[in-house]
Amino acid sequence: MEKSTRKYEAIVIGTSAGGLTALHRVFSQLDEKFRLPILIVQHVSPNYESRLPVLLSQYGTGLVREAEDKDQVREGNVYISPPNYHLLVEPDKSLALSVQDRVNLSRPSIDVLFETASEAYCESLVGIILTGTTSDGANGLSTIQKRCGLTIVQSPESAEFDIMPRAALAASSPDFILPLNEIGLFMNSLSNRG
């Protein structure tokens, strides 16, 4: 089935510096009836209390909270990696948290989420890279693409920090390169399929 008509089951998003603003913009565009589960890795300091659950819960996308070990991924919910924990997707599509070594100097690591989610969801996964100052996520997005998932990169010109989008573009050829103000709208089109 063509990617343009495929029904997707989950979205993973990776971001770092500038991510709070970028995610706010993306979520402000989502329909109230948006149903795809969203899993997010936002690089934060290990001792930082993430404001993401509060910020994103103002949008009508379902339950928004930090992920917990053994959570079952549910339609319409948003799961955010806790500070200092890798977020993984198990083969049964439940979530796991890990304090294993940093990957790309990061914990949580975008690559860890993207690679484990691509094993669980294969071609029914959507991967999105937003603004950031590291190359974390580039390999993970490439893995999603190799497993025939849909890949999206924020256009470097629209990113507050363009290192992460540029690293993703250097590692693979994403299906879409979109300016920030179009990503949420595009996600709506994916959620409304089937």
Sign of dihedral through CA atoms 28, 30, 31, 32? negative
Beta bridge partners of 40: 13, 80
With H, G, I as helix, E, B as strand and everything else as coil, classify residue 61.
Answer: coil
User: pLDDT tens per residue, the chain (194 residues)?
Assistant: 577 678 999 999 999 999 999 999 999 999 988 999 999 999 887 776 667 777 787 776 678 888 999 999 999 999 999 998 999 999 999 999 998 888 877 889 999 999 999 999 999 999 999 999 999 999 999 999 999 999 999 999 999 999 999 999 999 999 999 999 999 999 999 987 75
| Contact of 127 with 176, CB cutoff 8 Å | no
Q: What is the pTM of this model?
A: 0.94
Listed by start position, the domains of the chain span 10-191
| Catalytic residue status for 43 | yes
| Catalytic residue status for 69 | no
| Catalytic residue status for 136 | yes
Q: Rounded to whole angstroms, how far apart are CA atoms 159 and 164?
A: 9
Q: Of these residues, 106, 111, 136, 162, which one is catalytic?
A: 136
CATH superfamily of the 10-191 domain: Methylesterase CheB, C-terminal domain (3.40.50.180)
Q: Of these residues, 16, 109, 118, 158, which one is catalytic?
A: 16
